[in-house]
Amino acid sequence: MTEPDPRRWRALAVTQTAGFMALLDVSIVTVALPSMRADLGASAGGIQWVISGYALTFGLSLVAGGRLGDALGRRRMFLIALTGFVLTSALAGAAPSLGWLVVARLAQGLMGGLLTPQNSGLIQDLFHGPERGKAFGVLGATIGVSTAVGPIAGGVILAVFGDPEGWRWVFYVNLPIGIAALVLALRVLPRVDVRRRVDIDVVGALLLGAAVLAVLLPLVRAESGGLDGQWWLFPLAAALGWAFVRWERRVVGRGRAPLLDTRLFTGTPGYVAGAGIALAYFCGFSGIWLVFAVFFQGGLGYTPLQSGLAVTPFALGSAVAAAVAGRLVARWGRVITVVGLTAVGVGLTAVAVVLLVVPGPSAGVWIVLPMVLAGVGGGAVISPNTTMTLSSVPNRLAGVAGGVLQTGQRIGTAVGTASLAAVFHAVLGGTGRYSSAIAVALFAAVGLVVVAFVLAVRDWRAHTAAGAERIRLPEGG
């Protein structure tokens, strides 16, 4: 057995810092949109592409980024993607016009999507046994906290740098962090020999990219009529997905390296169940932040910073629970996910009830405890589920497996954000009451969490039954 790399924990700290920065940029920009629009003189529809463009290219490049990391080496891809992310952040911050900013965000999302799968792949390479669960606990905390803390960080930056150009520092803040991470990565990330001949499945990449684009485009444009005008893209996505699977099987049959080996789904225990749980959970979990921002700022008159602080208890609970759950997953397995999803559902239900019955700005104080409960539950979902989903994946597929898992999470984020925002605005338009709108939207989020709960219980029971069967086998001879 080879000795573990003595620099592995330092390497993890560096990669998670960079990963946190890339994931944070999904949500940190939201609170800065009004400032950007005023400073650049942009329309509401145009400024929406600052968020939508990043989400699109981020989701499109995840699987390809994972495959490139598997083929070219994760250290090399990490350094290339991180360098690109820093440069595109600088271009976004310096944007003199909306067109420039949107192009920079498209490129920034592409670099973020190439960067993210290297994190889970490097954990697969560097950590083994119980340590891997702890490392994935850190990754789970990174994913959960970065999603929740984005509005807080954006509000703080705007409060410090002010209008009209304070929004530029939402992007400039990436420069010192990214450069420091780049310098440290050059020192601590291990060099791994990779084969010289790299076989990249270009046709597969194009088919999968088109399929993901067909799913994400109408979802990220939902607020500007994307679902009404581009519904036909969903059946097109199904057709492209079918063509992609057929092509990948053909590539494998020819003895070539596919973009996504479909045996990842058929021959890897727990992968399909874990990916399904992640997709369903992110539909509910990620969709709540936009409606919270609209409720607190539009309904209660909070500032962007106050709105961010109102959801801080969730982020704190998630960070602590993710680190603890990562240490316990080897012992308790899927039961941690089941308990975590229960806590999320109960916590969000309590938040919905409180916001429905407690009037005025004091509602933000009354939801502290149920938000902590929901956050603790969320931390007990993401990191254990990531660990169990990727635990049986061969190292040669670690990058692409992480990319597929993250793609499902990005699609879940887009679905949840679009659907919960639609529910919120429909109720608000019908009743005129922000409290009713946020309560119904949160109940809808709980419904999505329940779907993830059912999948987790089924997987838990399947593992329990398999374990009992293994125990009985020796007795039957």
Give me the pLDDT at residue 471, please.
Answer: 40
Maximum alpha-carbon separation in the chain? 77
Give me the pLDDT at residue 247, please.
Answer: 87
pLDDT in tens, 305-342: 788 788 889 888 888 888 788 778 777 878 999 999 99
In the chain, where does the domain assigned CATH 1.20.1250.20 lie? 8-190+259-470
> Residues 142, 270, 418, CA angle at the centre, nearest 5°?
55
Distance CA 477, CA 467 (A): 17
Of 281, 117, 325, 213, the closest CA to residue 273 belongs to 281
Distance CA 473, CA 457 (A): 24
Give me the pLDDT at residue 81, please.
Answer: 95
Give me the pLDDT at residue 221, please.
Answer: 65
Q: Check residue 297 and report its DSSP letter.
A: I
Tokens of 80: 């290339």
Question: Please, how many CA atoms are within 13 Å of residue 44, restricted to the half-sphere of its CB?
Answer: 3
Tokens of 435: 């409290």
Of 304, 440, 324, the closest CA to residue 381 belongs to 324
Place of tokens 């592995």: 8
Residue pair 308/151 in contact by the 8 Å Cβ criterion: yes
> Which architecture, in CATH terms, is 8-190+259-470?
Up-down Bundle (1.20)
Per DSSP, the three-state class of 378 is: helix
pLDDT in tens, 115-153: 988 888 888 888 887 788 778 778 877 876 776 677 778
Distance CA 340, CA 317 (A): 12
Low-confidence ranges of the chain (pLDDT < 50): 1, 196, 468-477
Of 450, 416, 438, the closest CA to residue 364 belongs to 438
Residue 236, C-beta contacts closer than 8 angstroms, at least 6 positions apart:
214
Distance CA 469, CA 170 (A): 54
Tokens of 209: 């990219």
> Quick one: three-class SS letters along 305-331?
HHHHHHCHHHHHHHHHHHHHHHHHHHH
